[in-house]
Amino acid sequence: MAPGHVFWAIFYFACLCSASLANNAKVNFREKEKKILDQILGAGKYDARIRPSGINGTDGPAVVRVNIFVRSISKIDDVTMEYSVQLTFREQWLDERLKFDDIGGRLKYLTLTEANRVWMPDLFFSNEKEGHFHNIIMPNVYIRIFPYGSVLYSIRISLTLACPMNLKLYPLDRQVCSLRMASYGWTTADLVFLWKEGDPVQVVKNLHLPRFTLEKFLTDYCNSKTNTGEYSCLKVDLLFKREFSYYLIQIYIPCCMLVIVSWVSFWLDQGAVPARVSLGVTTLLTMATQTSGINASLPPVSYTKAIDVWTGVCLTFVFGALLEFALVNYASRSADRAADMHRENMKKKRREMEQASLDAASDLLDTDSNATFAMKPLVRHPGDPLALEKLRQCEVHMQAPKRPNCCRSWLSKFPTSPLKKVPCLGRGQCSRSKRIDVISRITFPLVFALFNLVYWSTYLFREEEED
């Protein structure tokens, strides 16, 4: 072989070896990413002030698809009518100016941490009161740019949002709290927000709220028109059901117990004035304090709530028990005054009879000196007025008995004599005060039971209607 041919064979073999080594060397993808970012975001190549084009490169509005992940709901405040939520917010749109070569599918996406490098939708939360980003340890935000020009923006934020509430059925109510997102400056001719297809809203598993249960959530659109144009808007309605067990233990059962304790006054003796007054005033003040504590945890609304009806009726029952004792005490004192008057009349008549007997005896002693005594006949003549009176009394006692009355027969089983052992005046002033207590023992529990039946049937039925 000629020397020239040997030289060219060696040179060709060296070229093949160098090419094989170059192919086997690892590609530095970080360096590739830097070059690609410099190519698509370099100075004079990309302007973040210009919005992307519409679908298929048309001049239509840019379409931004949104989805959110609810991480936690910390509180729902009835007084300020707001709730706090922490969520991961994501937006995705197509910007054809950001297309790049994926190196045969080995470069899936580019990651940015500076949002001002690319165009961003001007979305804001329209019912937001307060909000902040999370910057521990690094800002919780990223931007991913995919080879075909798609951009994904993700950020973790905490928001305090307004939630107007209707408390007419409180605490048997359900509340709908919304999360509204809208464009601030771009109208629908330039920017449109759409929910991501499939599952636009996700909620963390085992979401725990102290006084509410998240029953369901609904997504919808809420585009708004103003004098500057029409703006795209998205909303999520979160349906919360209030947990009733807390209010049953803290409000309803204690109020029932206070009302029942106020009825103990009906079973105490009428003469135990300090005990009955202390019991009535104590339960009344406790019920008033309970009502004040309930109202302190609620906003001063102009309509009547279900809890207002309950506490108002319970307060009325406790106050009624105190008034009942005042009525019993008044009736008892009236009976005592009547008994005292009757006693005085009897003493006066007795004195008059004794005086008449003495006058008759003195007249007999002053008669004829022979001391002859006039003998009064033992048998009365028919025209004698005293005989007629006795006959009339016998006729009264011999009248036919009236038909028995069930209520009076039942009431007659209870002792109705007054504390002082004085005769009763007919059927009753001395028994009136005791019978008031007896009637109250039955009337108050029956009326309260009827109120409970009406209350629970009414508000539970209205709750089902709202559902």
**Assign residue 149 a region: left if phi > 0, alpha if psi is -120 to 50, beta otherwise?**
left
Strands 212-221 and 150-162: unpaired
Q: Cis peptide before 36, with omega less than 30 degrees from 0?
A: no
Q: Is the pLDDT of residue 369 over 60?
A: no
Strands 128-133 and 150-162: antiparallel
Q: Is the pLDDT of residue 10 over 70?
A: no
Helix axes 273-296, 253-262, angle to 10 degrees: 160
Q: How many CB atoms lie within 10 A of CB 78?
A: 18
Q: What number is the average pLDDT over the span 357-386?
A: 54
- Cβ burial of 69 (10 Å; 0-12, 13-18, 19+) is middle
pLDDT tens figures, 380-430: 454 555 444 554 554 444 455 556 566 566 555 554 444 344 344 444 444
pLDDT tens figures, 98-123: 998 888 878 888 988 888 889 999 99
Per-position DSSP letters for 243-285, written without gaps between them:
-HHHHIIIIIHHHHHHHHHHGGGGGS-TT-HHHHHHHHHHHHH
Q: Rounded to whole angstroms, how far apart are CA atoms 13 and 55? A: 53
pLDDT reported for residue 326: 86
Q: Rounded to whole angstroms, how far apart are CA atoms 420 and 427? A: 16
Confidence of residue 3 (pLDDT cuts 50, 70, 90): low
pLDDT tens figures, 420-459: 443 444 444 446 778 888 888 999 999 999 999 999 999 9
